[in-house]
Structure 1
Amino acid sequence: MPRLSRHQAGLRMITPTNELERQLQAAAAENARLRDRQNATAEILRTIAASPSDARPVFEAIASSSKRLLGGFSATVLQFIGDELHLVAFTPASPEADEGLKSSFPRRIEDFPTFALVRGGETIQFPDAEAEDVPELNRNLARLRGFRSVLFMPLMNRGTAAGMISVTRAETGAFAPDLVQLLQTFADQAVIAIENANLFNETKETLERQTATADILKVMAASPSDVQPVFDAIAANANRLIGGYSTAVLRYIDGAAHLAAFTPGDPEGDRVLQASFPVPFAQFPAFQLTANGESVQLPDAELEPAARGVARARGFRSMLFTPLMSEGEAKGVIIATRRTTGAFAEHHVRLLQMFADQAVIAVKNVSLFNQVQTRTIELARSLDDLRAAQDRLIQTEKLASLGQLTAGIAHEIKNPLNFVNNFAALSTELMDELSEALAPIRLEDDVRGEVDELTGMLKDNLQKVVQHGKRADSIVKNMLLHSREGGGEHRLSEVNMLVEESLNLAYHGARAEQPQFDVTLKREFDPAAGSAEVFPQEITRVLLNLVSNGFYAVAKRQARADASYEPIVTATTRDRGDAIEIRIRDNGTGIPDEVKAKMFNPFFTTKPAGEGTGLGLSMSHDIVVKQHGGTIDVATEPGQFTEFTIVLPRKSGFANGSG
């Protein structure tokens, strides 16, 4: 094998070294390029993190990094919104070119077939924008901006294009695969930014809805009996969250739409709105439009004559109507308005529907609350009636026990009392006989005088014993009546008939005692007074007592009045629905205030000794109030009149007639 020269050996040693250096330089350049890409990706991620609610700063960062890392002339980020393509970010070229770019958007996608292909998910390149196969609109845009080649990358989100990134270069030629892949990374990051912004805004919107719902629920809880504060809160919250100009809540009442609540605007517009309601359904198109329960939009109020006047006065252009549906029937409507024309977003329609549902719940809550309140009042009244009936029953049982005790006591007292009365009367007669027996006997004048004086004194004393004995007997009898159980049969009785019988009995009784007694009796009976469940004997006893007191008062006044005075006692009945009213009025002496305060107390009387026991009014009060659950009141003016008013319930609290 020939031997290599030293020079040849040196060449073989140098060549591997140069190759290694070249590879190291290439690796360093690649590392720098990768670091640059990683830094750009990291920067975009930081921008995404710093701007969770707005994707625009991310789009600007992506446009800048795409242009720089792809060696581009310019870069743009565009979004598909509906059927239009909107410019959201771009790298500047020249003022003229930049203005031309901005004025080219938004554009309908159908005007750019290339963009339609990108929207379908394709990545498209034009290595030479002047080539014949490039659409004319794209060629014109390239000339306007000053580029020759372009790369379009779709922003794909769950199989749907949300927009695209375009990168241009001043020279012709296709973009290398690794650059296409790099732009795909930026496209993915743009989609992440869009998703983040959507999620953030949706979360924010959801939180705002929840807050508004909580606010309205608080108002409902604080105003269970009044729906007005709820309507006010719904109008305010709906207007704020929809970004509306004004919002109104209307209720349907008796064939017309009534304004229930609204967000105020300018005073003149508010007056026009308020003057527009109530309005009959026939003149309110929204009633027919929303009767099926669906929301209806009016994108331009100028096109609807019925809405044009109030729209101009209030200053809005578009309207959204959402009905308040309850059990398949429209109970009202919420109307949201905006200053601009156009349709409301779907999520705003759903939001207003939520508020409409809350309004319906509020109306139902108030209705239920009022029903519960009414029922509670009825139950409380029933409970009071039951307690009153129980009290009357207890009182009746007490009176029964007291009656039994009183009957025994009266029996024990009456027997010796009868002996006292009888023997006092007999002794009086014996004193007369004694006087007759002593008359023929001759006695000294002084002795006869002393005998006559003693017999006279004894006779007077015996007469006083008889008088007070009879009064004691009367007191015992009245005590027995006052405390006795029941009063005969408890039954349905004609009140007018009871009053008439009582008047006649009292009048004839007074005439029997005093034949010269005369009084004018007036009757003002209400034919509708009808019947009531009472103890007729007890009510008759009350009426006899009141009428007799009236007779006593007019007789007392007549005794000291002139001849022009006419004694009058009037009996009146009135129908009071579930009760009957009885009035006994006299134009006698009246009752002083100090007597009126004590008149229903047992044993209190103003009559002279022997003429009254003081139990009549006390007994009457117990019969009317405690036994029958009624009321007895008195109105009087001393020297002018006295009027007793009795109110008896038609139905008593007794289950049967046992009392």
Structure 2
Amino acid sequence: MATEATIVPHGFVAAIEPKKPAAGVEARIAELERRLAARDKTIAVLKRCVQARDEAETSPLAVLEQNIALGRVVAMKTRELTEERRELQDALTELGKAQAVLLQAHKMESIGQLAAGVAHEINTPTQYVRDNVAFVAKASAVVERMLTKACEVVAAARAGGAAADRIAEFEALARLSKLEFLRQQVPEALEQSIEGLDRISRIVGAMKEFSHPSAGRKEPVDLRALINTTVTVARNEWKYVADLETAFDEGVPAVSCLRDEIGQVVLNLVVNAAHAVADTLEPGGKEKGRITVTLRSTVPGHVDIRVEDDGPGIPEHIRGRVFDPFFTTKEVGKGTGQGLSMAYSTVVDRHKGSIFFETERGKGTVFIVRLPVEAGE
């Protein structure tokens, strides 16, 4: 597999690893391809043998016998070749289906891992919405008592009774109820509640959009919206360890892609960046890192998604393995080693793009996903 030439800044290393074959279906495909190659060689040898006989025997009967024998052999080998090609195509179709199922399973696994964080993200605004609504309910009861007393004062004034006493009672109740305080705080509580409900709505909407499958059809996607949605879903992964910024170049076109799968790639890269930054934090020293997600059109006909962190960088001895299936440097239970492997498969195999990285020890890493604007075959 050809690798993409990449201009790498001084001190950085770029790496592109070929997709590693999976067991099972991939092995079956390799065996079928080997058998097809053997059949082709057999036919070529038979043709050379017949050609040699043609040169030695030129009688019409000999030529007829040779042609009949060759026809039978070629017909038999053609049938075998056709059958084996059909089996190869079936195996490729099966591989494609298995890959799609695996990608969806990995996406749902990521959603499951993020569920606790999303629940926390929703719980925080829910809690202060509840507290504010409880405060407004109490304020409403106070206002109701004030209105009742005000009505009594008005009724006494109209009857020409002891209005002064009623007014004194009203003023005393107003002081006791902290009416001025309530008049200031109730609108603010309602505004915060509306803001909290909007935040919940955004989180739920982002999760719904992120988890919705694209039914295997490529369609024009606004990568700005996709990145913003993914960053929202992953917020609980990065907000405690890093400040995350997004920067989108003007005029970046929509990209024809499988929206949910590219969203999964961005999610994997953002979560990996957050974990990398977390490894460099220390109390009294570096308390928060930085993650930057940018969108650029650097190569004609392509769009680059760049996820950069100021983490420790990738050690030199593992740079050639980062895209290997099941390879991970994380502790048991914190990673399966499938994230970057899936990202490679999605970008390179399913979108005909490229994914590579630049890294420097002690300064950080940037992963670049380069996608063609138009859908490839």
Pick the TM interval, shorter chain.
0.3 to 0.5
| Structure showing the higher helix proportion among its residues | 2
Q: Which has the higher strand share?
A: 1
Higher RCO structure, 1 or 2 (CA under 8 Å, sep 6+): 2
Structure of larger gyration radius: 1
TM-score normalised by L of structure 2: 0.44
